[in-house]
Structure 1
Amino acid sequence: MARLIIRHETRYLYERPVGFGLHRLLLRPRDSHATRIVEASMGLSLRASKRWVYDALGNCVCLMTPEGRSQELTIVSQLTIERFPAPLAPLRIDNPHTAMPIVYDRGDRTILDPFIDPASDDPNGMLLDWVRAHAGGPYEPALDFLQRLNRYIHQHFDYRQRDEEGTQTPAFTVTMGSGTCRDFAWLMVEALRRLGYAARFVTGYLYSPQHSSVRGAGATHAWCEVFLPDLGWLEFDPTNGLAESADLIPVAVSRTPEGATPISGLILGDPGKSELSIHVDVRPADPQMEAA
């Protein structure tokens, strides 16, 4: 078990004072058998009314409306969590439904249908052709295929940071051969859906001890979850080639990237030029752990 401290600071600067409408914050990690929240606090540069709710997918959402007008809005989320290792050990899978082509039973299928139906266009079939070229033969264990595709994206696509909001289409990412963590996660989600897998988009935090070669540390991160019979939802991070890693700290799951945006909201008035800065720091509560 590792105890981690997460500090997530988001700052908006505007050329002219603006008012603020409702904001939707997805900053609190999902409580689970692998993650326990010990302490949580949120600091705002303005007074605000706020309330907490759970959305239809079980994400913890803060609905906040800042008061007054200002040229700056700063939101600081401070968390202490306990994260339990969840290695993906080699598994003997006897259920033939966990081999390709994947088959879900009727009860699961009713729930999973929205995550099986693709949400992006592929007018020329480029994405389908690409993922079919990487699929193995009939009855390849699905877990083997998922790990292989996860590693392939990590090894063959160039990681590039991009400050602009939004996510590339999966077909565009295949064409360019490069993208951000959210582009790679969305590529894997939509490619797998075209083979009949239930997959969803995940945002959260990434623990990178001593800022090693892990890509995506220092900001919010994105990856993919896939549902397999008998195994449930499994995490795959194609940006770093990780699978079921304790370094992945999920905050929100969604059918599309837009549904898992960490902070979204309305401003009232003409801001002129604007500037956004985001900084995320994930570190051990015990400094000796980082030095180890």
Structure 2
Amino acid sequence: MTIKVALKHHTAYHFDRPVTIGPHIVRLRPAPHSRTPISAYSLKIQPKNHFINWQQDAFGNYLARIVFPEKARQLVVDVELIAEMTVINPFDFFLEESAEHFPFRYGEQEQIDLAPYLRIHENGPLLQRYLGSINLKRQQTANFLVEVNSKLQQHINYLIRMEPGVQSCEVTLEKKIGSCRDTAWLLVQILRHLGLAARFVSGYLVQLTADQKSLDGPSGPEQDFTDLHAWAEVYVPGAGWIGLDPTSGLFAGEGHIPLSCTPEPSSAAPISGATDKCEVEFKHSNQVLRIHEDPRVTKPFTEDQWQSILRLGDEVDQQLEQQDVRLTMGGEPTFVSIDDMEGAEWNIAALGKDKRRLAGELLLRLREKFTSGAVLHYGQGKWYPGEPLPRWALSAYWREDGEALWQDNKWLADEATDYQLTSADAHQFIQA
């Protein structure tokens, strides 16, 4: 299922008097390798009297070179685009056999091609100390990249820093705080010290509110959000460029829309240029709007849509009844694990280390959700061919009129508690 969003990015420079505006470079068009589908894009510039030429820089990024023939009191850049937020699996890649495990070496031709992305710019003592804390033992490359990225995210706190430019690695490591630009550049230098080609990425970050609250971690933003962002990409043979976001500690996904990818941050600035000396009032805003989204498991039909479906179902039932068509239907939900999707108990086995326990917890939660005063029954259910015993059937029964069948839940044993009871206790209970 796809959510289609419209992104609007407004940047305005208001000058205190008419000034000469030198040629400007605008790097605000999604890069050719963006994995998020972009179905529409527009760039509008004020003042209207200008010349614009679309180009690609030495690294393949799109850029608009804009020339202004007359003085003006403002410079306004408006970007609008439509993106399809199709879920992207950032681990959907195959590695060359030579690069499946870290450390690895690039081929001779690759080293020539990647030379700008292997150049080390910083080599301070704090950076060397941090490099010494990284586990360099032979391991799967994907796991190594996950560890390096998440380790840096935990080490550096995030700060919104409006000042232009990028901090040095030493400053970021000393303060243990930095903007997305600072942390991205630090990660680029770390990767290069480790022998991995890396580049700096400037782009848009789109974060949409989750349909449902997460059960085992942060649920993300409370409102749909977009802004300019920065992260890093590392080149691994077989996979190509892989996006790593050290601000979040995650790999880049559908919400990461790259605009410019370069060996150094200065070449990826969203807007660069000069004007006459003057006083400037700077304004900017970013907005993301959902313009289409399909119903899905986590966000199904609206109430009106459900009512329409139910009315149609009633009409079908009436026609079936009128024509004496008698049908029966059976069905059951199939549960899978959020953190053990490959486990046998969630695919082929009747039980495992977690399924029975989680089923009991779910039964208690459903009891509280549906009713009060329900009586619980733990018994046998379906008996599948080839299995030695029937499967467990956990049931909750209650009266529709609300009358309690079970008065006090404290008399129901907690399966997770060992009460030290014996067969003698069971016999006494039966005889009571």
Distance 1:136 1:282, change over 3 A: farther
Alignment of 1:265-280 (within 5 A): 265-267=273-275, 269-272=276-279, 274-280=280-286
Residue in 2 that maps onto 1:127: 127
Give the stretch that moved more between structures: 240-249 or 29-38.
29-38
- One-letter code of the match for 2:281? E
Residue in 2 that maps onto 1:103: 105
C-alpha separation in 1, matches of 2:65 and 2:284: 19
Give the counterpart of 1:240 among 237, 240, 248: 248
Distance 1:90 1:62, change over 3 A: closer
Distance 1:101 1:79, change over 3 A: same
1:241-275: CA deviation from partner (whole Å, max 9, x where unpaired): 221311111111000111100000121x2213x23
C-alpha separation in 2, matches of 1:4 and 1:111: 36
Alignment of 1:111-260 (within 5 A): 111-118=113-120, 120-122=121-123, 124-137=124-137, 139-210=138-209, 213=220, 218-260=226-268
C-alpha separation in 1, matches of 2:93 and 2:83: 29
Distance 1:252 1:92, change over 3 A: closer
- One-letter code of the match for 2:89? P
Larger Cα Rg: Structure 1 or Structure 2? 2
C-alpha separation in 2, matches of 1:61 and 1:21: 16
Distance 1:90 1:53, change over 3 A: closer
C-alpha separation in 2, matches of 1:52 and 1:107: 31
Query: 2:206–2:227: 8 Å Cα contact kept in structure 1?
Result: no
Percent identity between the two aligned chains? 29
Query: 2:149–2:245: 8 Å Cα contact kept in structure 1?
Result: yes
Shift of 1:286: 1.6
Distance 1:218 1:97, change over 3 A: closer
Root-mean-square deviation (CA, aligned residues, Å) is 2.5
Shift of 1:90: 7.8
Instruction: Flag structure 2 segments of 5+ consecutive residues without an equivalent.
Output: 211-218, 300-432
C-alpha separation in 2, matches of 1:256 and 1:283: 32
Query: 2:4–2:293: 8 Å Cα contact kept in structure 1?
Result: no
Query: 1:219–1:278: 8 Å Cα contact kept in structure 2?
Result: no
- One-letter code of the match for 1:80? I
Shift of 1:91: 7.2
Alignment of 1:3-14 (within 5 A): 3-14=4-15
Secondary structure at 2:209 match in 1: helix
Distance 1:64 1:101, change over 3 A: same
- One-letter code of the match for 1:175? E
Task: Return the structure number with greater relative CO, CA threshold 8 A, min gap 6.
Answer: 1
- One-letter code of the match for 2:285? H
Query: 2:36–2:254: 8 Å Cα contact kept in structure 1?
Result: no
Residue in 2 that maps onto 1:25: 26
C-alpha separation in 2, matches of 1:89 and 1:266: 41
Query: 2:122–2:189: 8 Å Cα contact kept in structure 1?
Result: no
Secondary structure at 1:167 match in 2: coil
C-alpha separation in 1, matches of 2:95 and 2:263: 27
Could you state the TM-score of these two structures normalised by the residue count of structure 1?
0.89
